[in-house]
Every structure is written in structure tokens, then in C-alpha cells.
């Protein structure tokens, strides 16, 4: 079996709640590991081991571990009996391909082991030392060999690979992400995975059933993001009829903001159904006309729960770098028609007057325009990067919500 040692960092700071976070992390690792094939997970007080069948490639295993929020770093390890001769043998095999300078970092977790940590490091160092090929450098070595001595076994490894860190998905509650086909909102959603949030997705579209391009694009983006959490649902909300209904009320300069206010009204129904505690958007101050501080204020005005925009202070370059890292960039840059650009003035209003837009929207028969959007919403489910089902979401405007939807 390929054996990996997994470490977690932020969870360690959780004091009495630590167990809660650890259990979720182990469950998430199990769900991910099952997508690769035969595996075994063992959770010991301060570490997690995962073993995978030898038929599974280490490249696939490591790509998978790099996606699991809560993992601080991981190492492919070799284990042996806690006996010095056995330890020397493994140490020699692990370092046989290395050349240059090295250092042994030993840790004696089993306090009855006869040698103390510095002594173990010295002895193992001498065993692998080869004149001209591997020389010791204690202050700035090119390679490190880690030796952890436990009562039942000793683990050895040379490399630590960084994981995403943060908190395990599912430990902080749920958020509803308003995801467009662009670069930003997928990255914003991924940011919140790292903070332990489970993310449900909602996308508004104005294409017909036969126009599959935008739909396929958003599905591909969410499918990619679905490999970062165990279960994922995407709500596809038809928005075209509503847009056609409101253009007679809202002047073209204000439509962009009005569309986004309508999105929040509709999203509140899905948030309620999914028991989410807030929204995620990909907004970043000043990026486009809808994201001036005044317009963000006008948009968030209708949100019933907190709007979390993790990219709010980030520059496009940083966001693009993250989009590449998480695998959404290539899909995001495919050109598409975002529904927000439907019948807009080429120079949209940069500072919407909140009272004015409220007055204008007061003319719109809100419930009548929202009901068909909600009733024709589809839900698509993914499990770790795989499509599971697609069906009508069967949502109705909940009782008591009709009043909330009015401006
Ligand atoms: P993105 O790259 O995420 O598309 P953007 O820079 O194009 O962002 P806008 O089009 O102004 O910016 O959208 C800002 C935010 O509004 C998006 O990040 C997303 O959260 C939300 N949003 C925009 N269009 C849609 C849509 N069609 N469906 C759901 N959410 C949307
Ligand atoms: Mg967009």
C-alpha cells in the first residue's frame, strides 16, 4: 500500500472543539479517497494515515490531498519496526537517490525508546552518510530526512507537500454562491471552502434549453469545484422572462444593478430552502460598473443574509492565479453571454440612488415575475466531480416570503 501521513494546523487551535473538526476532516478525506479506489484511513491522536492500493498512482493521490481543506501538509511515508537497524535500512533506501547536503530530524514520541531524539538523528545521519554524495548540513540542508519513533512503529519520509490548510469543508455551515460563468465567482467559492464552508451554487441564465453553451460552461465550473467538497448542488434559475418583464420599468442605465437585486431576491428563496447562512459573490471593488461602492450598496440592500465577497480587496492578477491553481481558469475564459449584459446602456450608472431604484422597483409586480423563475428552477447534483442527477428543483415561494420579496 502507498502510505501517507497527513497533518492539520488550524484545527489544532480549536481546543475543546478539536474533535468536531477532526471528525469532519477524516470524513472528507474518506469521501475523497473513495473516488480513487481501495483505501484505509487511520486517525491517531495527532495525525491521520491514509493508505491506498498500490495500483493507484501517487500523482493522483497527491492531487487529491492538495484539494482537501483542513490538510496543512502531507508526506508519503515508509514505516518499520521501532528498531534502530530496521530504521537504518529504511533511511538508506529513502536517501539512496539523493545527493548534496542533508539533515536528519528525529522525534522520539515513544519515551521508552532507549535513544533520545538528538541521538537518533545522529545515528541515522551516520548510517546514510556517504562521503562525496551526501554530506551533513544542519543549518541549511538541501534535503531532510524525518524520523518519527512511536512505540508500535517508526515512520520515515523526506518530503512534506503543502495542502490548502484552513478548516475542513462542512465545519462552518453553508453558503449560497452566486456563480456566473466568469473568473471571479468560482474563485470566491473556493476561498470559502478553505474556511470550512459547504457551498451550494446558484446560477441565473437567460438562454433557451437548446442553447447549451453557457449552461455547459457553468456546469463544468461547478463540476470542477465539486471535487473540493463531498456533495454539491447547483440551482439553474431561468432569468430571461423576468428580465423581459422588468425592462419596461427599469431604465437601461440602472438595469445591471436591478438584475442583481432581483438575483438576491430569488436567491433568498434558495438560501432558505438550503438553510444557508449567507451568500458568496465574486465582487471586487471597482472592477466593473456594478461593483462601485455605491452600486454594491444598492445591490446588497435587498440581501436578507450577509453577503460574503472574499475577493473584494484582491486584484485581478491574484484572482487569475488562483483560478489557474484550482482548475477553473480555462473554462472561465471561454466567451459567453452573461445574463447581466441583457439590454444594458453602454454606460451604466456608477452610483445608483438607492431611493430611486427602490421607487422604480416598487412598480414591478414582484411576486408575479419571481414565481415562474422559482418554479422552473432546475437542480443539478454532483458528487466529487461526477454528475449525479438533474431535475426540476420543485421549489415554491415559501409562506411568508411574498412580503419579503417586495422592494
Ligand atoms: P465573475 O467573473 O464572477 O463573472 P464579474 O467580474 O464578471 O464576475 P459581474 O458580472 O458584475 O462581475 O458579477 C459580479 C458577481 O455577481 C459575480 O461574481 C457573481 O457572484 C454574481 N453574478 C453575476 N452574474 C451572475 C449570474 N448570471 N448568476 C449568478 N451570479 C451572478
Ligand atoms: Mg460575470
Counting ligands in written order, which one lies closest to the CA of residue 282? Answer: 1
> How high is the pLDDT of residue 80?
97
pLDDT at 402 over 80: yes
Q: What is the tens place of the pLDDT at every residue in 214-234?
A: 788 999 999 999 999 999 999
Nearest of 215, 237, 193, 225 to residue 386 by alpha carbon = 225
**From the CA of 342, how far away is ligand 1's center (Å)?**
13
Do the Cβ atoms of 50 and 200 come closer than 8 Å?
Answer: no
Q: Of all atoms in ligand 1, which is nearest to the CA of residue 282?
A: 18
Q: Of all atoms in ligand 1, which is nearest to the CA of residue 291?
A: 11
Where exactly are the structural domains of the chain?
2-162, 174-405
Mutate to test the pocket of ligand 1, among 181, 183, 185, 235 (most ligand atoms within 8 A of CB): 185
**From the CA of 162, how far away is ligand 2's center (Å)?**
31
> How high is the pLDDT of residue 85?
95
Let me know the angle formed at the C-alpha of 195 by 404 and 217, rounded to the nearest 5 degrees. Answer: 70
Handedness of CA 250, 276, 18, 31 (dihedral sign): negative
**From the CA of 238, how far away is ligand 2's center (Å)?**
16
Top-confidence range, 256-265, 343-352, 394-403: 256-265
Cell numbers 440581501: residue: 303
Tell me which DSSP letter residue 397 carries.
P
> How high is the pLDDT of residue 407?
64
Mean pLDDT value of segment 17-31: 91
Mutate to test the pocket of ligand 1, among 178, 179, 180 (most ligand atoms within 8 A of CB): 180
CA distances from 84 to 22, 40, 93, 98 (A): 32, 27, 14, 21
Counting ligands in written order, which one lies closest to the CA of residue 204? Answer: 1
Counting ligands in written order, which one lies closest to the CA of residue 186? Answer: 1
CB atoms within 10 A of CB 395: 19
**From the CA of 197, how far away is ligand 2's center (Å)?**
22
Q: Of all atoms in ligand 1, which is nearest to the CA of residue 202?
A: 29
Give the pocket of ligand 1 (CB within 6 Å).
Answer: 178-180, 182-185, 202-204, 263, 281-283, 287-288, 290-291, 338-340
Q: What is 2-162's CATH number? A: 3.30.2130.30
Q: Between 3.10.310.30, 2.90.10.10, 3.40.50.620, 3.40.640.10, what CATH number should domain 174-405 receive?
A: 3.40.50.620
Nearest of 97, 360, 405 to residue 249 by alpha carbon = 360
Do the Cβ atoms of 337 and 214 come closer than 8 Å?
Answer: yes
Integer Cα distance of 150 and 156 in angstroms: 11
**Atom 12 of ligand 1, residue of closest alpha carbon:** 283
Cell numbers 495527532: residue: 46
Output the average pLDDT for the chain.
Answer: 92
Q: What is the tens place of the pLDDT at every residue in 87-136?
A: 999 999 999 999 999 999 999 999 999 999 999 999 999 998 887 788 89
Q: What is the tens place of the pLDDT at every residue in 246-303?
A: 989 999 999 999 999 999 999 999 999 999 999 999 999 987 777 899 999 999 999 9
**From the CA of 69, how far away is ligand 2's center (Å)?**
26
**Atom 6 of ligand 1, residue of closest alpha carbon:** 184
**From the CA of 196, how far away is ligand 2's center (Å)?**
25
pLDDT at 333 over 80: yes
Mutate to test the pocket of ligand 1, among 282, 288, 344 (most ligand atoms within 8 A of CB): 282
Do the Cβ atoms of 105 and 144 come closer than 8 Å?
Answer: yes
Counting ligands in written order, which one lies closest to the CA of residue 332? Answer: 1
Counting ligands in written order, which one lies closest to the CA of residue 290? Answer: 1
Tell me which DSSP letter residue 306 carries.
-
Amino acid at each position: 500500500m502507498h502510505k501517507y501521513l497527513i497533518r492539520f494546523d488550524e484545527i489544532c487551535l480549536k481546543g475543546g472543539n478539536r474533535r468536531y473538526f477532526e471528525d469532519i476532516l477524516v470524513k472528507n478525506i474518506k469521501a475523497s479517497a473513495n473516488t480513487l479506489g481501495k483505501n484505509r484511513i487511520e486517525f491517531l491522536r495527532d495525525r491521520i494515515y491514509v493508505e491506498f492500493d498500490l495500483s493507484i498512482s501517487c500523482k493522483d493521490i497527491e492531487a487529491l490531498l492538495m484539494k482537501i481543506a483542513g490538510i496543512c501538509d502531507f508526506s508519503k511515508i515508509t514505516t518499520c519496526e521501532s528498531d534502530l537497524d530496521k530504521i537504518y535500512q529504511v533511511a538508506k533506501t529513502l536517501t539512496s537517490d539523493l545527493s548534496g547536503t542533508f539533515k536528519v530530524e528525529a522525534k522520539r514520541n515513544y519515551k521508552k525508546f532507549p535513544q533520545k531524539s538528538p541521538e537518533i538523528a545522529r545515528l541515522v545521519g551516520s548510517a546514510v552518510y556517504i562521503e562525496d554524495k551526501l554530506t551533513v548540513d544542519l543549518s541549511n540542508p538541501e534535503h531532510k530526512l524525518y524520523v518519527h519513533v512511536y512505540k508500535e512503529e517508526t515512520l520515515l519520509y523526506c518530503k512534506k507537500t503543502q495542502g490548502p490548510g484552513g478548516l475542513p469543508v462542512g465545519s462552518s455551515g453553508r453558503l449560497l454562491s452566486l456563480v456566473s460563468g466568469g473568473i471571479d465567482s468560482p474563485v470566491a467559492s473556493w476561498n470559502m471552502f478553505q474556511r470550512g464552508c459547504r457551498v451550494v451554487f446558484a446560477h441565473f441564465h437567460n438562454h433557451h434549453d437548446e442553447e447549451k453553451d453557457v449552461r455547459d460552461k457553468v456546469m463544468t465550473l461547478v463540476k470542477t469545484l465539486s471535487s473540493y467538497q463531498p456533495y454539491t448542488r447547483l440551482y439553474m434559475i431561468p432569468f430571461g422572462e423576468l428580465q423581459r418583464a422588468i425592462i419596461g420599468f427599469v431604465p437601461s442605465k440602472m438595469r445591471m444593478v436591478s438584475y442583481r437585486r432581483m438575483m438576491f431576491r430569488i436567491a433568498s428563496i434558495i438560501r432558505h430552502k438550503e438553510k444557508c447562512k449567507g451568500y458568496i459573490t465574486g465582487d471586487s471593488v471597482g472592477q466593473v460598473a456594478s461593483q462601485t461602492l455605491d452600486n454594491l450598496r444598492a445591490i446588497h440592500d435587498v440581501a436578507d443574509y450577509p453577503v460574503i465577497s472574499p475577493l473584494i480587496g484582491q486584484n485581478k492578477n491574484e484572482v487569475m492565479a488562483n483560478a489557474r491553481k484550482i482548475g477553473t481558469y480555462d473554462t472561465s475564459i471561454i466567451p459567453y453571454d452573461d445574463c447581466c449584459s441583457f439590454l444594458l446602456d453602454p454606460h451604466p450608472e456608477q452610483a445608483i440612488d438607492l431611493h430611486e431604484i427602490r421607487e422604480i422597483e416598487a412598480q414591478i409586480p414582484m411576486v408575479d415575475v419571481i414565481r415562474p423563475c422559482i418554479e422552473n428552477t432546475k437542480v443539478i447534483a454532483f458528487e466529487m466531480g461526477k454528475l449525479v442527477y438533474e431535475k426540476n428543483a420543485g421549489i415554491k415561494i415559501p409562506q411568508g416570503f411574498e412580503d419579503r420579496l417586495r422592494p
